[in-house]
């Protein structure tokens, strides 16, 4: 009888292995927060122990965590400097969606955002009580977005052995460069350009210029102490079936559509059903 219990225990060891994750998710821009919240909930649903660290950048969105299943959430109040900057946030960020595509205009907005994120990062790092509390948790893996490198820095300070970098948008050239992926502006359009993958000479030249300028302004940030290159994986919100083809390392994992919730009980829209039925062949994943 005892032998049966021992065998049963051995068989269940592998299936019950769970890891402790620390997800760094600043409350700033619901699309980012929602993306990180879904990742946290997916891990929680799989049986892992997940803690979400949420520095509050935008007080108006403090309750919009994007988290539904994960119970342990640690919020860090906004730094006074961040509160001052956020007074003008709505005007500044609205320009991102309405202005003509321009690296230089985008740079101005990004510089202001960077200053606020640096201030909030200092507030977290300098909170000795919080950092000690997190260090005592002995997390196995840390997950943070690349647009705010503070998360990866926190993981390094806490001596978390593995990290995963994410981005709620498409794959960025500066991220590719930092992790050793080639940037090929001759046929891979950059993040902020309006051309497709079939470009004339001028469009290719413009695309290459955007890549150089982006690397000049952001490259040093992402390459700092190779903190991003040391990430075990890089998750992007790209769909490999819809995005432009590009060379990628195996550590780059496109998880586009993870935030899309589909109810299997609902019927397919008539327009979609007619489109599928009109084709002789239909490939589905």
Report the range out of 60-74, 88-102, 186-200 with the highest average pLDDT: 60-74
pTM: 0.77
Type and span of the H or E element at 54 = strand 49-55
| DSSP code for 56 | B
What is the predicted pLDDT for the residue at 282? 58
C-alpha distance across the termini of the chain, in Å: 46
Q: Please give the full DSSP string across 39-65, using - where no structure is assigned.
A: HHHHHHHTT-EEEEEEEBS-GGGTT--
Strands (E), 110-236: 141-145, 162-167, 233-236
Answer for the pair 125, 117: CB distance below 8 angstroms, yes or no: no
Type and span of the H or E element at 257 = none
Confidence of residue 30 (pLDDT cuts 50, 70, 90): confident
Which residue shows structure tokens 């432009």? 244
Cα-based torsion angle of the residue sequence 157, 159, 160, 161 in order, rounded to the nearest 10 degrees: 140
For the chain, give every domain's residue range. 18-277
- For the chain, give the mean pLDDT: 79
Answer for the pair 47, 53: CB distance below 8 angstroms, yes or no: no
What is the predicted pLDDT for the residue at 227? 80
pLDDT at position 26 over 50: yes
Which residue shows structure tokens 């993981």? 155
Q: Which residues contact residue 231 at a Cβ distance below 8 angstroms, ignoring those fewer than 6 apart?
A: 152, 163, 164, 165, 179, 251
Topology of the domain covering 18-277: Rossmann fold (3.40.50)
């Amino acid at each position: 009888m005892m032998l049966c219990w021992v065998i049963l225990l051995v068989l269940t060891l592998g299936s019950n292995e769970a890891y402790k994750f620390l997800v760094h998710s600043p409350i700033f821009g619901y699309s980012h927060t929602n993306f990180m919240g879904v990742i946290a909930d997916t891990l929680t649903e799989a049986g892992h122990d997940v803690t979400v660290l949420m520095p509050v950048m935008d007080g108006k969105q403090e309750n919009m965590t994007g988290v539904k299943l994960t119970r342990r959430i640690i919020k860090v109040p906004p730094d006074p400097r961040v509160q001052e900057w956020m007074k003008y946030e709505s005007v500044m960020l609205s320009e991102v969606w309405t202005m003509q595509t321009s690296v230089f205009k985008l740079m101005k907005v990004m510089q202001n955002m960077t200053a606020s994120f640096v201030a909030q990062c200092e507030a977290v790092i300098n909170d000795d009580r919080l950092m000690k509390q997190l260090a005592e948790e002995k997390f196995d893996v840390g997950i943070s977005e690349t647009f705010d490198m503070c998360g990866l820095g926190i993981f390094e300070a806490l001596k978390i052995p593995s990290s995963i970098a994410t981005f709620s948008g498409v794959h960025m050239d500066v991220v590719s460069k930092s992790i050793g992926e080639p940037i090929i502006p001759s046929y891979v359009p950059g993040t902020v350009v309006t051309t497709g993958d079939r470009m004339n000479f001028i469009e290719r030249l413009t695309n290459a210029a955007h890549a150089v300028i982006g690397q000049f302004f952001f490259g040093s940030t992402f390459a700092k102490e190779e903190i991003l290159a040391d990430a075990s994986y890089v998750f992007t919100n790209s769909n490999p079936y819809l995005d432009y083809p590009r060379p990628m390392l195996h550590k780059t994992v496109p998880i586009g559509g993870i935030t899309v919730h589909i109810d299997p009980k609902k019927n397919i829209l008539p327009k979609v059903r007619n489109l599928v039925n009109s084709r002789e062949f239909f490939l589905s994943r």
